[in-house]
């Protein structure tokens, strides 16, 4: 499903939309570009529930399969699971 579950604007002005089963979409208005992130990019699950940005500007994504943090240098997620204490 491409139902939007959450929307977030980060400190750089990019708009993020979490999808019920379609991963995560980023719209960068400055570049007029969309990007799609999913399990292929390390997201723990394509079912996104919540988004938040920490004090360092890192995007954290809660999914039904675990927690992911985006590495902006590689555009890949580092994942944390229940076994990691999350």
- Tokens (6 digits) for 84: 């990691």
The reported pTM is: 0.89
pLDDT, tens digit (0-9, with 9 covering 90-100), for 24-60: 999 999 899 999 999 999 999 999 999 999 999 999 9
Calculate what percentage of the chain has a pLDDT beyond 90.
85
Distance of CA 86 to the CA centre of its chain: 17
Sheet holding 59-63, edge to edge: 48-53, 59-63, 66-71, 76-80
Give the pLDDT of residue 66.
92
């Amino acid at each position: 499903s491409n139902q939007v579950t959450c929307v977030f604007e980060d400190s750089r002005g990019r708009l993020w939309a979490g999808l019920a089963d379609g991963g995560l979409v980023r719209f960068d208005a400055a570049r007029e570009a969309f990007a799609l992130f999913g399990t292929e990019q390390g997201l723990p699950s394509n079912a996104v529930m919540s988004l938040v940005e920490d004090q360092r500007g890192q995007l954290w994504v809660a999914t039904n399969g675990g927690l992911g943090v985006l590495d902006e240098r590689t555009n890949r997620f580092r994942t944390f699971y229940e076994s990691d204490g999350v």
